[in-house]
Amino acid sequence: MKKPHRPISDASNHHDFCILPAQIEQLRTDAYYGMSFARLNSKTVISRTKDGIPLSLLSDDEWSLPAFVFNANDNPIFDFLPFYQECDNRIHNVEICKKLFIIKMFAPNSKTGRPLRLSSMHPTHNLLLKMAAFCAKKNFALEEIFSSIVNFKEFQIMLPKLLNRELTALIRTLNGIRSDELKLPLSGSVFPYMQKVARSLRSEGKQFPIIPSRILLFKYEQYHYYINDWLEHHLKILTFLNHAAANPFYGRGKYNHAKPSNKASKLLNTDQLTTHLKNPITFHRAIEENNLIALCKKHKWRTVQNVLGFVSKVSHCAKNLIHLFTLMRDHEVKSLTTDCLEPVRGWNNDALYVAGITTKLYSAAKPHKWITTDAILKPVEALIKINELLSPYFKKPNNYLLVSTAVHPVSISAPSKNYLTSRASAEDYLDPILITESDIQELEAVDPIRNWRSDSRYKIGIPWRITSHQFRRSIAVFSAQTGLITLPSLKRLLGHLTKVMSLYYTKGCSAQNYYFNLINPELAEELRQAKFEADGAMFIREALQTSERLLGIKGTEIMHQRSSSVWVNGTMEDTVKLASKGLAAYTEIPLGGCGSPAPCDKRAHGNFFTCPGCRHLIGKESVMNDTLAIMKLDLDELDPNSMEYKAEKQNLEDFAELRSRLIAKSCEALTSK
C-alpha cells in the first residue's frame, strides 16, 4: 500500500489546504475542477497543503481531501486498498477506478460549477469498489464493463437501486467527456440503456414518509421525557460520571480488577486498587451517594455505562427536536456550535435564529440562519450541559454543540476523529412505538399512489423507524395543508433551490386525514368549528367591510354590490350562516384573498398564476404590493451568483407581471359595467 505524502492525522483543519492550484505550474500536475483528464497519471497530485506540499498522489492507495471538508459530517479519507482483488488485471483495474473517481469529481458540473461534494463521492467510491469486485469475479479488465453492453447489463442488474442511481450519474458524466480525454471504450448502447434505467428509477422513487400524527406525538413526548430528566438531575449525573472518570473502579464490583481485558484495569494505579479492595464503591452504592436512586429505577440502569448511555439518548432526543423546530438537515445540525442561538426583534414579537452553516445550495460551506421559536431553548440547553460534561475530555477548536459521549473515559467505544456524534442512531435504544392500522391509513391519505402495505418497512406491528429527514417532510406537509406558512416561505425554510422540490415535499398536502397534533377527535372538532367562525369573520372584515378596491372576479362582484347597505347587511348574515357550516371562507394569499371554502391544490402548491381566472379571487393591490416588497427583501439577502437568486428573481418578475395584468383586467371590468 502506498501511503499519502503527509500523515493524515495532520490533516485536521481544512483551512490549511487548497482546492485550486496555488501556482501556475501546478495546473500541469494537479487534479482540479475543469482539468484535462488526458494528462492523468500516477504522479498527478490529488491534494496539497496550503504550503504546496503534496498530500495525496493518484498512485497512493489512501487519499485525503481535507480541502473539500465543508461540514462536520464530511469524511475526507478514501481508501483504495480494498480494490485490489485477486485477478489478472488487479493493478490495472485499481488505476482505472482511481481515474474514474477523479473524472466524476472534477468534471464540469452545470448545476454548481464546482467539484462534487465528498458526501457525493463516497457513494461513487462504493460503486467503483463493486466494479473492481465484479471484474475480479469475471477475471477481466474494467474497460470490458463499458465496451460491451452485455457485460454492462450483467453488472448493472446486480446493483441495488441507490448504486444504480450512482451508475446513471457516472455514465452521464462519462458520456459528456471527449474520447481523447476519457481513454475508455464506451459502447454507444450504454448511455441510452441507462437513460431507460434512470426513468424507471424516477418512477419508483419514494419520498421520506411523513411521520403519522400518533407516532409524532409519541416521539415528541418521549424526547421531552428524557430531556426533562436530564435537566432536572444533570448536576448529580455530572458528579457521578466525574467520579467514574477519575476512578476507574468507581461504581464497579469488587472483582472487576481481575479481568485483564477490562478497560478499567488498564487505567488502574496501586492506590486505587488498594482502596477498591478494602472498600469497593459498588454501582448501587455510588447511585445512592449521588441521590440517583429514583432515576436509576426509572431508566433501569445497571452499570456506569448505562448512565453514560442515558446521556447519549438525551443528546439524540435534543438533536431530533432541533430538526423538528428548525427543519435543518442532519449535517447542518451537527455543525452547530454552543453559541448558535441569536435573539432577534421581529416586526411582531421577539424571535430566535439558529445560526450555522449549510452546503445545500452552494456546494460549499455558507453561513445560514434558521428562524425558530423559544421551544428550541430546552434542547439546546440540554446539549450545552452535555457539552460541559464532556469538554474536559476532548479538544474543541470548533466548539461544536453535538459531541459524542464516546470521548468520556467511562465509554467502552472509541470516539470519531472529530469527536462528533456518529450516524449510529440512539433511536434504537429508545422504547419503540409500533405501527397500527390507523397509521397506515394516514400514510395512504397523504400518498394514496404508494403501496404502503407491501413495503416491509411499514408493516403493522413493527416499530416505526425515525430519521431526521422525516421531520422536514412532516412539517412541510402540515404547513402546506393548514396554510400556516406560504409555499415561498416554506421553500426558503426547507432550503430548496426551486418550488419543484418544495412541491415534491408537500405532495399529499390536501389529505384531510393528516392532522399532525389533532389526536383528540373532540379537540379537532372544536378547532374546525373555530376555524369556520374565523373564516366568516375574515370574509366580513377583509371583503365586505374594507374600503379598498377589490380585484378579481369575486372582488369585482362584491365591489358592484356592496354600495347597497341592505345587500351588505343581508350578505353578512348569510356569510355567518354559511361559514358556520364550512361553506364560506376567506384565506389570505399573496394576491389578496381567496373565498373558496374547498381545498385548492393550486393555492396549496403556491401556484397563483391561475387565480385571475378563478371565480373565488378577491384581489387587493395593497397585499400584492406587500408581497412584492417582501420578495425584493428576500432577493437582496441572496448571493447574486447563486441558483436560488436567479430562481427568486424570476419569481419576482413573474409576480410583478401577474399583478399588473390583474389590475388592468379589473379596471376593464369596472369600466364596462
Rounded Cα distance, 136 and 225, in Å: 53
Looking at the DSSP bridge assignments, the partners of residue 358 are 366
Q: Are residues 413 and 478 in the same domain?
A: no
Closest by CA position to 121, among listed 182, 70, 175: 70
Domain containing 478 equals 437-505
Q: 297 versus 603: which is more confidently predicted?
A: 297
**Gyration radius of the chain's alpha carbons:** 30
Q: Are residues 325 and 401 in the same domain?
A: yes
In a domain? residue 189: yes
Type of residue at 171: I
Domain count for the chain: 4
pLDDT of res. 281:
86
Q: Are residues 452 and 386 in the same domain?
A: no
Q: Are residues 29 and 159 in the same domain?
A: yes
Going by the DSSP 8-state scheme, the letter that residue 463 receives in this structure is B
Q: Are residues 258 and 352 in the same domain?
A: yes
Looking at the DSSP bridge assignments, the partners of residue 30 are 45
Predicted confidence (pLDDT) per residue in 29-43, tens digit: 888 888 889 889 999
Predicted confidence (pLDDT) per residue in 399-435, tens digit: 889 999 988 998 888 777 766 776 556 888 999 999 9
Rounded Cα distance, 101 and 127, in Å: 10
Residue 532 pLDDT exceeds 90: no
Q: 259 versus 336: which is more confidently predicted?
A: 336
The percentage of the chain sitting over the pLDDT mark of 90, rounded to a whole number, equals 31
Specify whether the CB–CB gap between 46 and 98 falls below 8 A: no
In a domain? residue 26: yes
Residue 310 pLDDT exceeds 90: yes
Type of residue at 32: Y
pLDDT of res. 600:
64
Specify whether the CB–CB gap between 483 and 535 falls below 8 A: no
Q: Are residues 199 and 339 in the same domain?
A: no
Residue after which a domain boundary falls, among 407, 429, 451: 429
Q: Are residues 223 and 334 in the same domain?
A: yes
pLDDT of res. 520:
40
Cell numbers linked to 405: 459521549
Q: 233 versus 352: which is more confidently predicted?
A: 233
Residue after which a domain boundary falls, among 475, 505, 535: 505
Specify whether the CB–CB gap between 419 and 435 falls below 8 A: no
In a domain? residue 162: yes
Specify whether the CB–CB gap between 584 and 548 falls below 8 A: no
pLDDT of res. 514:
47
pLDDT of res. 553:
87
SS3 state at 416: coil
Half-sphere exposure of 268 (CA within 13 A, CB side): 19
pLDDT of res. 344:
66
Q: Are residues 409 and 264 in the same domain?
A: yes
Predicted confidence (pLDDT) per residue in 572-613, tens digit: 667 656 655 656 677 777 888 888 877 665 554 456 677 888
Q: Are residues 97 and 24 in the same domain?
A: yes
φ, ψ for residue 430, nearest 5 deg = -90, 155
Rounded Cα distance, 264 and 250, in Å: 10
In a domain? residue 228: yes
Rounded Cα distance, 61 and 130, in Å: 17
pLDDT of res. 528:
52
Predicted confidence (pLDDT) per residue in 435-454, tens digit: 999 899 888 877 766 788 88
Predicted confidence (pLDDT) per residue in 350-402, tens digit: 567 888 888 766 666 788 888 777 888 999 999 999 999 998 888 765 788 99
Q: Are residues 23 and 60 in the same domain?
A: yes
pLDDT of res. 64:
92
Rounded Cα distance, 672 and 668, in Å: 6
∠ Cα 489 495 496 (to 5°): 95
Q: Which of 63-72, 121-130, 571-580, 653-662 has the weakest average pLDDT?
A: 571-580
Residue 526 pLDDT exceeds 60: no
Residue after which a domain boundary falls, among 187, 204, 221: 204
pLDDT of res. 608:
67
Closest by CA position to 544, among listed 575, 581, 582, 588: 575
Residue 570 pLDDT exceeds 80: no
Residue 124 pLDDT exceeds 90: yes
In a domain? residue 447: yes
pLDDT of res. 632:
81
In a domain? residue 510: no
Q: Which of 100-104, 192-196, 424-428, 546-550 has the weakest average pLDDT?
A: 424-428
Specify whether the CB–CB gap between 223 and 318 falls below 8 A: yes
In a domain? residue 511: no
Looking at the DSSP bridge assignments, the partners of residue 337 are 400
Predicted confidence (pLDDT) per residue in 161-182, tens digit: 889 989 999 999 999 888 888 8
Q: Are residues 166 and 91 in the same domain?
A: yes
Q: Are residues 242 and 340 in the same domain?
A: yes
pLDDT of res. 347:
38
Residue 125 pLDDT exceeds 90: yes
Q: Average pLDDT over the chain, rounded to whole?
A: 79
pLDDT of res. 424:
57
In a domain? residue 70: yes
Cell numbers linked to 207: 419520498
Q: 619 versus 599: which is more confidently predicted?
A: 619
Q: Which residue has the cell 453561513?
A: 367
pLDDT of res. 260:
47
